[in-house]
Amino acid sequence: RLSMLEVISKYNMNCYFYAPKDDLYLRDKWYERYDTENLSILQELVEKARQCCLDFYYCLSPGITISYTNQMHFESLIQKLKQVYALGVRHFGILLDDIPNTLQYPEDKERFPSIAEAHAYFVNRLVDYLQDFDASIKLALCPLQYYGSGEEEYIRAFSALLPKDV
């Protein structure tokens, strides 16, 4: 990955999205903070990206196990992002793709008529929190459905509930 950052920079690219499937802390353990060893590895990547003049996007994929209404889940996500923020990361990504296309928890099913509305609630809440925490933070988003003409039911419902700058 360190050498890939050099290649990306050499070809005048400007960002790197960190979302490898082998980092269990991004998907399976999204709610856990990094241990010292893995945090050190991530720090090395962040530093290398900075040296290569690349924006480093740290991406989490919480969609398999997150409950969108669970305050403890939201707090776990925030604590994880703050841990990575402390490394100097100011660009984040939330990846909601490759997950079930239905709500999984009873409390989410009771509150939201669709997964699009649950995703919009979650993303809007996160955007509000991050903007209050540090307005310079950038957030990228990959929705559940990321292909098509834009007229698909999920895409229409989800995008209609997001701020225009998301």
First-to-final CA distance of the chain: 28
Contact 159, 116 (CB under 8 A): no
pLDDT digits (tens, 9 = 90+) for 54-104: 999 999 999 999 999 999 999 999 999 999 999 999 999 999 999 999 999
Q: In what order do the strands lie in the sheet with 91-95?
A: 15-18, 55-60, 91-95, 138-142
Cβ proximity of 107 and 67 under 8 Å: yes
Reported pTM: 0.94
pLDDT (tens digit, 9 = 90+) per residue, 5-34?
A: 999 999 999 999 999 988 999 999 999 999
Q: Which residue has the tokens 């990575």?
A: 84
Residues 79, 83: Cα–Cα separation, whole Å: 6
